[in-house]
Each structure stands twice: as C-alpha cells, then as structure tokens.
Amino acid sequence: MNEAVVGLDIGDVRIGVAVSDQLRLIANPVDVITRVGWGPDTKKILAVCERYHTSIVVSGLPLNMDGSEGFQAKKVKDLCAQLEKKGLTVYYQDERLTTVTAEDALLESGMHRAERKTHVDKVAAAVILQTWLDEQKMKERNAQ
C-alpha cells in the first residue's frame, strides 16, 4: 500500500485535485483543472496520476440530501467511466457538504474571497480524499 491516491472534486466548470501521501494518511490539495471536455479532462487527470505514480482515484459523488443519485452524480460517473477505460481504478466518496466544509476552512484561515474562489475546489477534493482515507483506516482497524 505504498501508492498515493488522487482525489477529485468534479464540477461542471472545474475539477479540484488532491493527492495523498504514499502511506495514505494525509490528503493535500494540489491543483484545479479547468474543464474543457471529456478527452482533455481525462488526459489532464491521467497526467496527474502519472506525476504521482498512481492509478487509484477517489471521486466525490454529489448525492442528493436524501442519499439518492441525481443528474450531477450521473455526470461525475460518466467522466469517471472514461478514467476507468484508461486503466484507472475509481472509488466514490459521498461529497455532500464538502464544498461548505472547504469554504469554512478557507474562511477560518483568513483567506480573502477572491483567493477562496481559486482554492475551494482543490480544498474540497482534499476533504473528499481525507474522508475516504479515514474510512479506509477505520475499516482496516475493524477488520483486525
């Protein structure tokens, strides 16, 4: 398990990107990809995975507040299907309220509004990834 994991917060305009350390303890926000289309978006995500020597991706899944999948979840799964066709392994993490959590964290850090707008997507990706990492550690502990 010495492979980093890439986390994604996929939106209509931007994709926030985070990456874990190789021990999968900490998620770090690293980049924001401006959406162009499936082909270019897929290539950019593949390049990130190559840079961090991983084939594992955790994508936020935008569920409705009742837990059901809606139109946005379908769009995320459609892009992730393209990633899987390119050989990546994709896991999904419920992302309800992660953008709110990311905004709150950036507000608490004293970041100005304009700066928050450029960072919120990658911080949301880090929140999604960190939640997934923590859940995996909990599952490992419970299995022992």
**How does pLDDT run across 34-89, given as a tens digit for each residue?**
999 999 999 999 999 999 999 999 999 998 878 788 889 999 999 999 999 999 99
Q: Mean pLDDT throughout 120-143? A: 91
User: In this structure, what token pair is assigned to residue 74?
Assistant: 């379908």
Count of domains observed in the chain: 1
Instruction: Report CA torsion sign: 136, 94, 48, 87.
Output: positive
Looking at residue 103, which CATH number applies to its domain?
3.30.420.140
Q: Is residue 1 part of a domain?
A: no
Range of the domain at 72: 6-143
The overall average pLDDT reported for the chain is 88
Residue 42 CA neighbour count, 13 Å, CB half: 17
Does the pLDDT value for residue 97 go beyond 80? no
